[in-house]
């Protein structure tokens, strides 16, 4: 068993298996919003690592295979964009406005609530990047005076909470337009929200991908400038 736990492909297979099991649980529970596949998968992997007392470095010897696969998968996100290119062009101004205002709101709320409730400047700076994808958040958090490790955790938590809360809130508000759903998921829940949008439909996916990319770009350019100024 110890030899198996040191085998990189074991952790690769376990990660894939945990996600597939999460998908089955999601379907069996009638697509229960509280049990997105990624949450179940993360939980299973974390529990396995804790029970076997396996360090993260050992896990990533197998995990890096999946990490390398993400690059071509990200390129494949261009397919929904191409299929919805005409609609995206027509809504370009509204998308830009929604992403700008949505990004500003998430940053302002995260910073203000953390400063008011906790009062730790480092945590406040770290929370600024909670609504962008993990690689971008980790890359710029250090420039902002935050903790990159905590930033990665906040990004994952914010994505999971977004997937759980966004759709019920929009339903309660009787907002069901695919464009609105997609932009909201992309801005507030980044990659995890975009993966949820891919399940909802082609239009939701295209708008979520666009919103996610623009949000990450806007944060990466504007946040370091704002911090350096103020």
Q: What is the model's pLDDT at position 120? A: 83
Q: Are 205 and 82 in contact (CB under 8 A)?
A: no
User: Rounded to an integer, what distance in angstroms lies between the CA atom of residue 61 and that of residue 15?
Assistant: 12
Whole-prediction pTM value?
0.82
Q: What is the distance between the terminal CA atoms of the chain, rounded to a whole angstrom? A: 55
DSSP state for residue 128 in the 8-state scheme: T
- pLDDT the model gives residue 119: 81
Q: Could you please report the per-residue DSSP string of the chain?
A: -HHHHT-HHHHHHHHHHHHHHHHHHHHHTTS-TT--HHHHHHHHHHHHHHHHT--HHHHHHHHHHHHHHHHHHHHHTHHHHHHTHHHHHHTHHHHHHHHHHHHHHHHHHHHHHHHHHT--HHHHHHHTTTTS-HHHHHHHHHHHTS-HHHHHHHHHHHHHHHHHHHHHHHHHTT---HHHHHHHHHHHHHHHHHHHHHHH-HHHHHHHHHHHHHHHHHHHHHHHHHHHH-
Q: What is the pLDDT of residue 134?
A: 78
Per-residue pLDDT of the chain (230 residues; tens, 9 = 90+): 666 667 778 888 888 999 899 889 988 888 777 788 888 888 899 999 898 888 888 888 877 777 777 777 777 778 888 889 999 999 999 999 999 999 899 888 888 888 888 888 888 888 888 888 877 888 888 788 888 878 888 888 888 888 888 988 999 999 989 999 999 999 998 888 888 898 888 999 999 999 999 998 898 888 888 777 76
pLDDT of residue 57: 82
Q: Domain ranges for the chain, please list them.
A: 2-73, 79-229
Q: State the pLDDT at residue 212.
A: 92
pLDDT for the residue 170? 92
């Amino acid at each position: 068993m110890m030899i198996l736990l040191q085998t990189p492909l074991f952790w690769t297979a376990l990660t894939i298996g945990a996600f597939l099991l999460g998908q089955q649980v999601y379907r069996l529970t009638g697509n229960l919003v509280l049990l997105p596949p990624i949450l179940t998968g993360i939980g299973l992997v974390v529990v396995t690592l804790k029970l076997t007392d396996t360090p993260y470095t050992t896990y990533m010897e197998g995990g890096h295979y999946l990490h390398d696969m993400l690059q071509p998968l990200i390129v494949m996100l261009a397919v929904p964009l191409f299929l919805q290119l005409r609609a995206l062009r027509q809504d370009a101004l509204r998308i830009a406005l929604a992403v700008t205002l949505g990004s500003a709101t998430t940053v302002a709320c995260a910073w203000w609530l953390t400063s008011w409730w906790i009062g730790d400047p480092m945590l406040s700076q770290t929370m600024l990047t909670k609504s962008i994808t993990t690689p971008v958040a980790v890359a710029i958090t250090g420039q902002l005076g935050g903790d990159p490790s905590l930033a990665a955790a906040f990004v994952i938590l914010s994505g999971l909470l977004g997937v759980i809360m966004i759709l019920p809130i929009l339903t309660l508000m009787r907002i069901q337009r695919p464009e609105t759903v997609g932009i909201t998921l992309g801005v507030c829940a980044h990659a995890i929200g975009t993966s949820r949008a891919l399940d909802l439909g082609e239009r939701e996916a295209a708008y979520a991908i666009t919103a996610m990319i623009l949000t990450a770009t806007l944060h990466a350019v504007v946040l370091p400038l704002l911090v350096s100024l103020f």
